[in-house]
Amino acid sequence: MAYSEKLIDHFEHPRNVGALDKNDPSVGTGLVGAPACGDVMKLQIHVGPDGVIKDAKFKTFGCGSAIASSSLVTEWVKGKSLDEAASIRNTQIAQHLALPPVKIHCSVLAEDAIKAAVADYRSKQNQEKSAAE
């Protein structure tokens, strides 16, 4: 079975690999795992004061489809609002990369990672707010 060109491109040239400062209040970090494969995925977003995602980074230890899924998500979320980013569905990722059925769970992992990153950013902001009050 052949993998799609888009998938291979993201796997061979992953976008936005790296890390942001997880202690920065304007950074949200999502750390998720797929115990079935022993995969672990970290996805981070840097959010501007206007609530728009300025930058995104990821680090994934897992199969090619997991790396491609997280790479794609970091590209997609830049310039998006938090609500837009959190509404990304795994089916969109799977469709874009033409993931084979056995690799659908990799796109689920990427969807969960961006949701976790947004949730982390929001809980940090709430803490800041309650600390300021």
Partner 1 sequence: MDEVRQYESAAAARAVVACWSCRGPIGPSALFCATCRAVQPPGALDHFARLGFPPAFAVDEAEIDRHYFAAQRLLHPDRFATRTARERAISQSQAVSLNEAYETLKDPLMRANYLLKLKGIDVNPDGCNTIRDPTLLMEQMEQREALQAAETAEDVARLARGAKDQLEACLKRVAAAFVADDLAVAESETTRLKYLVKLVEEARLRRAKLIRVND
Which residues are designated catalytic?
Answer: 37, 106
Task: Give the pair of three-digit tokens for residue 111.
Answer: 């969807």
Q: Please, what is the Cα angle at 19 between 96 and 119, to 5 degrees?
A: 70
Which CB sits closer to partner 1, 2 or 36? 36
CB atoms inside a 10 Å sphere around CB 63: 15
**Chain positions contacting partner 1, by CB under 8 A:** 31-38, 40, 42, 59, 61, 104-105, 108-109, 112, 116
Q: Min. distance of Cβ 87 from partner 1 in angstroms?
A: 18
CA distance 86 to 36: 24
Place of tokens 């998720």: 32
Q: Do 4 and 12 touch, CB atoms closer than 8 A?
A: no
Residues 6+ away with beta carbon under 8 Å from 19? 42, 44, 57, 59
Q: Min. distance of Cβ 81 from partner 1 in angstroms?
A: 23
Q: Min. distance of Cβ 10 from partner 1 in angstroms?
A: 19
